[in-house]
Chain A
Amino acid sequence: MAEHGHTTQDTLKYTAEHEWISVQDDIATVGITAYAAEKLGDVVFVDLPAVGASVASGKIVGEIESTKSVGELFAPVDGTVTEVNDAVVANPELVNSDPFGEGWLIKVSFTALPPLLSFDEYTALVGE
Chain B
Amino acid sequence: MTDSTDSTEGVSSTDSTEPAERFSPLHQQHVDAGASFTDFAGWQMPVRYSSDLAEHHAVRTAAGLFDLSHMGEIVVIGPESADALDYAFAGKISAVAIGQAKYSLLLGREGGIIDDLVVYRTGADRFIVVANASNRESVATELVERTAPFECEVFDESDDIALIAIQGPKSFEILSQVPGVAAAGLADLKYYWSTSGQFEGHEILVARTGYTGEDGFEIYIAPDAAPALWRAIAETGAGSGLVPAGLASRDTLRLEAGMPLYGHELGLTTFPVQAGLGRVVNLKKEGDFVGRSAVETGPVDGARVLVGLRADGKRAGRADYPVRDAHGVQVGVVTSGALSPTLGYPVAMAYVDPAVQELGTELFLDVRGTSVQASVTALPFYTRKAN
Contact = CB atoms under 8 A, between A and B. Distances in A.
Nearest to A19: B1
B5 A68 contact: yes
Given A32-B1, A70-B318, 8 more contacts: A18-B3, A41-B248, A65-B315, A67-B338, A69-B6, A70-B3, A72-B2, A72-B4
Contacts of A64: 1
B215 to A, nearest CB: 23
- Chain A to chain B: the 3 pairs with minimum beta-carbon distance, closest first: A45-B314, A42-B53, A69-B5
Interface of B is mostly: mixed
Interface string B1-23: 11111101100000000000000
B1 A72 contact: yes
Contact of A67 (B36, B315, B341, B368): B341
Contact of A42 (B8, B9, B52): B52
B1 A74 contact: yes
Contacts of B48: 41
A31 B48 CA distance: 23
Q: Which of B1, B2, B5, B51 has the most CB of A within 10 A?
A: B1
B251 interface: yes
B129 interface: no
A67 B339 contact: yes
Contacts of B53: 42, 44, 67
B45 to A, nearest CB: 14
B16 to A, nearest CB: 23
A40 B339 contact: no
Interface in A1-21: 17-19
Interface of A: 17-19, 32, 36, 38-42, 44-45, 63-74, 96
A71 B339 contact: no
B320 to A, nearest CB: 12
Question: Chain B contact residues (Cβ within 8 angstroms of A): what range?
Answer: 20 to 34
A65 B339 contact: yes
B1 A38 contact: no
B52 A66 contact: yes
Contacts of B251: 68
A66 B56 CA distance: 13
Nearest to B6: A68
B316 interface: yes
A63 B54 CA distance: 22
B167 interface: no
Contacts of B248: 41, 67-68
Contacts of B368: 63, 70
Q: Which of A39, A41, A64, A71 has the most CB of B within 10 A?
A: A41
A25 B8 CA distance: 44
Interface string B354-371: 000000000000001000
A73 B3 CA distance: 10
Interface string B46-80: 01100111101000000000000000000000000
A72 B52 CA distance: 20
A68 B8 contact: yes
Contacts of B8: 68
B2 A68 contact: no
A1 B196 CA distance: 57
Contacts of A72: 1-2, 4
B186 to A, nearest CB: 32
A73 to B, nearest CB: 6
A65 B367 CA distance: 12
7 contacts: A36-B3, A42-B51, A42-B53, A44-B53, A66-B52, A67-B52, A72-B2
A45 B318 CA distance: 14
B314 A69 contact: no
Nearest to B246: A41
B135 interface: no
B252 interface: yes
Given A44-B339, A63-B368, A68 B315 contact: no
A39 B48 CA distance: 10
Given A67-B53, A68-B8, A40 B3 contact: yes
A73 B1 contact: yes
B36 A38 contact: yes
A41 B316 CA distance: 15
Contacts of B4: 69-72
Contacts of B56: 67
